Structure 1
Amino acid sequence: MSLLSDLLDHIPPTIAGADKPTMSNRAPNRPRLVLVERPAPTLAKTYTNAANATPEWRHARDQYISHLMACRACCAPTDRYCLAGADLRATYDRIPMESSP
């Protein structure tokens, strides 16, 4: 005999449905789960990315990233910049990515 069958021999059998509460003795204020039909998501007509960004934004981004790659004093994840890096970051943040219609 296996170890599992020895363990199962000592567990008393359960009667089907004995542990389940009936509808009359369930809590009346218990919240019920309801399936909600959600409308299909609408897809954006345009995507905002660097390919369709303004040339001014791309230029500011390129200057900022080029400076970060070369400067040992700047660390973007910790928001630590040298004076030139802080100016480039401020310019990058100030210029809008999309042109206003």
Structure 2
Amino acid sequence: MHFHARGISRMTIGDYDGAIADYDEAIGLSPGVAKMRVDRGIVWMAKGDAKRALTDFDMAIQIDRNSPGGYFGRGLVQARAGDHDGAIANFTHAI
């Protein structure tokens, strides 16, 4: 979890590339942890890469069908893309 914690710290200070590198390492060590995919998806969104963010949120949901972060993140991507019905469905599922 060291890489995950450092990824959070790097994301907080705006070092998005460093955060992604840390999340990549963390995911490689623990590929079955949905939270790491959610957090990396948040960084991809911060960088403006909705496609990669959506891939991570979808993967988080595949890992954990009840991942509130995965559904919430996916809803954010949809809302930004103008898919309000899809966003509402995902936000509702997150709740």
TM over 0.5: no
TM-score band, normalised by shorter chain: under 0.3
TM-score (norm 2): 0.26
Largest Rg, 1 or 2 = 1
TM-score (norm 1): 0.25
The structure with higher relative contact order (CA 8 Å, sep 6+) is 1
Higher helix share: 2
